[in-house]
Amino acid sequence: MSTIRAVAIGCGHYLPKRVVENVEFEQWVETSDEWIRARTGIERRHFAADGELTSDLAYHASIDALNDAGIEASDIDAIVLATSTPDQTFPSTATKLQAKLGIKVGFAFDLQAVCAGFAYALTTANSLIISGQAKRILVIGAETFSRIMDWEDRTTCVLFGDGAGALILEAQEGNGSNEDRGVLSCDLNSDGTYNDILYVDGGVSSTQTTGVLKMEGQEVFKHAVKKLSSSGEAALEKIGLTGQDVDWIVPHQANLRIIKKTAQKMGVPMERVVVTVQDHGNTSAASIPLAMSVANKNGQIQKNQLLLTEAIGGGLAWGAIVLRW
């Protein structure tokens, strides 16, 4: 039966020019390159320059994606931007990006689900396309997490980086089977009772300050593996597939140990997992589209391959999407 699918037609990414190697942190916190690598798999990350905004990162990633798709900014009907580090309290960073791209029609909005933001944004964009609200949507994850770090907390400040990734979805006709290209299934979840294990201690209505990131690492790790694998399995089950059918897992790039254990739990060998955490650190909502773009550019991901992408972040919020490239 004929159905509308949200098909990826282009992707791109952008990383700020400043590269911060692990050894640099030794100058102000008690840590070491060896300690960071052993516990996280991270070797380096990128930090935005002074005056470089989240919308700037999103703009460069969007241009890269538009070039990859071979279309113009004017061909975009909507923008869904996932971020926890917006340029301003309001208006949305998505509308700032819309202006930078010279788009004066359609609609644009931000979505906030922290590290799970891109999974939520991709699911939202898929729904908008299926319902006929838009034909081409620019879906972005963009973050400047270096702006909300506690530089005296060695357990968190070494983990995060800045960057942006973008994916362009287009409405195309499919036959309704799991052989279609495009988004095939989505699985979203949240549980607000875990707020205190990963949060920022500031806010407009609470402290009137931005605040800094606070995390109970072991607790987050414990929940991550179980919730990511179960969400991934649920998304696959919805379309009658299993981990053995997956060509690539493109996971949230937070911690190499989490990535390995989740893949193991799902029965997917690491040879079929896209890993970029060593070069980017945790870029929150940007990490999945960043990894997707890198894998696309280096030829890992091929047309018609089955991808599973999953992420977990503060909330706790987590989810998984299955799409055929």
**Residues that are catalytic:** 115, 252, 282
Query: Which one, of 13, 321, 288, lies nearest residue 182 by Cα?
Result: 321
Distance CA 195, CA 213 (A): 12
Cα distances from 70 to residues 125, 127, 213, 324, in angstroms, run: 20, 24, 38, 20
Cα distances from 277 to residues 213, 240, 247, 281, in angstroms, run: 19, 30, 19, 5
Q: Under DSSP, is residue 88 helix (H, G, I), strand (E, B) or coil?
A: coil
Polymer length in residues for the chain: 325
Distance CA 241, CA 233 (A): 9
Cα distances from 281 to residues 77, 160, 241, 248, in angstroms, run: 32, 5, 31, 20
Query: Which one, of 192, 198, 194, lies nearest residue 211 by Cα?
Result: 198
First-to-last CA distance in the chain? 20
Please give the distance of CA 107 from its chain centroid, rounded to a whole number. 21
Query: Which one, of 113, 114, 103, lies nearest residue 138 by Cα?
Result: 103
What are 154's two structure tokens?
Answer: 């060695």
Please give the distance of CA 124 from its chain centroid, rounded to a whole number. 14
